[in-house]
Amino acid sequence: MKTSWKNDPFYNRIFRLVLPIVIQNLLSAAVSSADVIMLNYVGQSSISAVSLASQYANVLFMVFYGLGTGATMLCAQYYGKKDMRAIQVIEGIALRFSLGFSLFFAGLALLAPENMMHIFTNDSELISIGASYLRFMSVSYLCWGITEVYLAVLRSIGKVMISTALNLLAFSLNILLNAVFIFGLFGAPKLGAQGVAIATSLSRLVELAACFAVSFRSREIKLDLRALFIRNRILFSDFVRLSLPALGNDIAWSVAFSVYSVIIGHLGTDAVAANSFVIVVRNFGTILCFGMASAGGILLGNVIGENKLEEARTDAGKLMKLTVITGAIGGIIVLCATPLVLRYAHLTDQAMHYLKYMLLINTYYVMGAAVNTTLIAGVFRAGGDSRFGFVCDIIDMWCYAVPLGLLAAFVLKLPVMWVYFLLCTDEFAKWPWVIRHYRSGRWLSNITRENLFEPADK
């Protein structure tokens, strides 16, 4: 006799995890949409410049996401094994990598923001606005590198509500400060696009301070920077072997998406402005899908760490069914949002034309993204398989989608919408290989170790 979904422990656990993760993703999308909505009243150039400059934050987010999910691969399984000491060491290893990337991006943003903007556009006005934005964002990059790793570790051990509360604090403050510095409320200067960066950096500083406050009261996992200097050869080797392919996967994916923006950026400011709105709407459409992937990956990792491999295989099948449902819901969200966005967007007639059809394309695109993200970043990584996703995305995006987009835009000189449509075939092109790998079961393995802390490693 089959257990109904209401009485199934997997469904009960995943729904408890998904809700706070979805709230976090919703808040993140709300901040992005607030930026676009508020800048909509400043001017199309500000929207376009911030959209292009934000591609660096998107790349950095994927770096932190890759490190965080890489750490989660190990932490979730070690939590299933109840080895908290190993989790603390893994946190320190991940922080070493994340701070290195943070310092690199912050240095570029502070010292060479004009050069960073030149990669995306030749428009002098957009370069000037974007460079000013990037200088102030340098502070947020430094804070972000610490908070993202700590929150990822908290999520891996099931402390999702704490992570959600900290995100709620940061994102709420970000939206409030956006309004203050963009429009000059409460006597503050009107700073436009620059105000968005100041608001983001201040909210990240507050979030980091809150992380230290939570850590001080925590009995399990602390944000202790002394963990940066803990050495354990076995865990470091495992982190490099398992996490760096995940990091490479996410960097390759995010940089490819930035190249998409480079392609669109050279097709005119109308295309850039339309894409700015589309990104916001698509983020809302994928919130539930990506939340399901994150929650599913954590639960599967815990089960695998307990060495219940057959149970993990069964739970992965249940997760896939939920993903198809949430992908369909995401498409419906994008479709329902389309008339609302078209009504209130203040863009040129040409940009509005692009916006309408870009949104329609994304009504089905979110399904492709949902399935691939759940399998590659959720199921496969939970089982310790990060290499497949890295190879798959390198081939799909860098050997297929990016060359196709460059060919369509600059050699064949196809219309903007044809270029955009071709770029949005990337997720579906890799479906056959991703689904085949899932069915093979080769992704499933217990990656925890015994006798980690021998005297030489203490």
pLDDT tens digits in sequence order for the chain, 458 residues long: 455 566 778 888 888 888 888 887 777 666 666 666 667 667 777 777 887 887 788 778 778 877 887 788 888 888 888 888 888 899 999 999 999 999 999 999 988 888 888 887 788 888 888 888 888 888 888 888 888 889 888 888 878 888 888 888 888 888 888 888 877 888 778 877 788 888 888 988 999 999 999 888 877 778 878 888 888 888 898 888 888 888 888 788 878 887 888 898 888 888 988 888 898 889 888 888 888 888 888 889 888 888 888 999 999 999 999 999 999 999 999 999 999 999 888 788 899 999 999 999 999 999 999 999 999 988 998 888 989 999 999 999 999 999 999 999 999 999 999 999 999 999 999 999 999 999 999 999 888 887 777 654 44
Domain that holds residue 181: 9-447
287 in any annotated domain: yes
457 in any annotated domain: no
CA-CA distances (angstroms) from residue 191 to 38, 48, 184, 205, 440? 12, 16, 7, 20, 54
Helices (H) and strands (E) in the chain, counts: 18, 0
Provide the pLDDT for residue 41: 66
Cα–Cα distance between 451 and 458 in angstroms, integer? 11
Q: Give residues with Cβ within 8 angstroms of 256, minimum separation 6.
A: 393, 397, 398, 401, 402, 426
Provide the pLDDT for residue 456: 47
Q: Give residues with Cβ within 8 angstroms of 177, minimum separation 6.
A: 195, 198, 199, 202, 203
4 in any annotated domain: no
Considering all CA atoms of the chain, what is the largest pairwise distance in Å, rounded to the nearest integer?
70
405 in any annotated domain: yes
1 in any annotated domain: no
What's this model's pTM, rounded to 2 decimal places?
0.76
Please answer whether residues 185 and 179 qualify as being in contact, where contact means their C-beta atoms are separated by less than 8 angstroms: yes
Provide the pLDDT for residue 74: 86
Cα–Cα distance between 287 and 29 in angstroms, integer? 8
254 in any annotated domain: yes
Q: Which amino acid is at 167?
A: N
453 in any annotated domain: no
Provide the pLDDT for residue 28: 67
Provide the pLDDT for residue 37: 67
CA-CA distances (angstroms) from residue 90 to 95, 129, 238, 294, 369? 9, 39, 10, 19, 29
How many domains are there within the chain? 1
220 in any annotated domain: yes
